[in-house]
Amino acid sequence: MTSTLVLIASGILIGAGISVIWRDVQRSRRKPAFVLQRDLPSADAGRDQEAEITISSSRPSASAGYADLMSLVSGYKPERADKRDTATLGEPSSEPAGSDKNALAAVEQQWADLQPAVTAGIMQVNTVLSAAILSLGTPGKPSWSYKNRGYGTYRRLLLGEESLGWVRLELSQDDMLTVDIKAHKDAWSTINGKASAPAYGITATAISDLLSGCLKPAATRAAQISSSGTPANGDISAPADEAHWHDVDALVAAALRAANGALAQTGARLQPLAPAAWDAQLRRHRMTLTVEVDAADVARMQIERLPHEMEVAVGVRDAQMAGLGRRRRIPIEGMTTHSLAELIASCAWPAIARFKDVRRPA
């Protein structure tokens, strides 16, 4: 019995030993599942590098992924593959942006160069429109229109004191000067109009013609209203009565004395042609004066009493000197003799200075 047990135990030990030897043989045939870098032999260095390259190509790094995404979505590509920019999606490159800025700046400069001709052209138009009680107001600040299509200013189209609509005069990037008229109310939509002309070499007369063509519907309707005596719409207040000029009569007289005192040293003088009178067509009081330099009549001045403002306008007879004309207003509230005298003198001075320059001996 004892010998039988010993034989069985020996068989078990022999089987276990064989199993251990078999597992060792199998392990030697397989690559180890985990090996530290320091345990790898130098001969395997090339294979390890090769494995890293394979993984990198199938799974890009964060820098490469950012660059590829930007390239696909917006066309943006950084200068270096390993450089992470702070640019946002859709941001244009610096070169096109600089080109766009230069183009816009060139249009703005061209607009500034056109201003003498634009001012002279508008003065000519206002002279013609005065018969229909129409006028183009002072310009606003120059600005770009939607999507930078054009650069220019807005002016009000005035019927007396009422604003009928906006007149947009702008220069486009393709060198076209455009006039666009938009009425404030649907009742006046018939005055809407638009016209363009090449801006290169345009003259004051050409600008005047361009504006006149667009303003014909407004002038026709204004003339009809003027002849019938009816207001443009029902919400216009009643005209000022005779007493309203009396409120400013003494102040205007004092301002004229002060202005003439300042202009006397230049040989200039402002001389009223008649006392202020009510103009039924314009529905306002007006005083007309001559601007004299060395006894020569060089211009006409008009001082008008509006509901809440005083207006001073100076015009010259020579159309080539229309740019010397001025039209300015000052609020009646808070107006002083000094402020009105300064306004009167500043409006008259361009015509006076030009006449003296022309007459100055060589």
- 134 burial (CB, 10 Å; 0-12 / 13-18 / 19+) is buried
> What is residue 179's predicted lDDT score, i.e. its pLDDT?
94
Query: What pTM did the predictor assign?
Result: 0.41
- 225 burial (CB, 10 Å; 0-12 / 13-18 / 19+) is middle
- With tokens 């992924």, the residue in question is 65
Tens of pLDDT, residues 17-49 = 666 566 665 665 555 444 444 444 444 444 444
Q: What is the CA radius of gyration of the chain?
A: 43
CA 141 → CA 102, 128, 190, 300, distances in Å? 21, 25, 27, 28
Tens of pLDDT, residues 310-326 = 999 988 766 666 677 78
Contacts of 84 (CB under 8 A, 6+ apart): 63, 66, 78
> What is residue 228's predicted lDDT score, i.e. its pLDDT?
55
Domain boundaries along the sequence of the chain: 33-84, 106-228, 242-359
Q: With a cut of 70, which residues of the chain have pLDDT below it?
A: 1-99, 226-243, 317-322, 359-362
> What is residue 97's predicted lDDT score, i.e. its pLDDT?
56
- Start-to-end Cα distance in the chain: 153
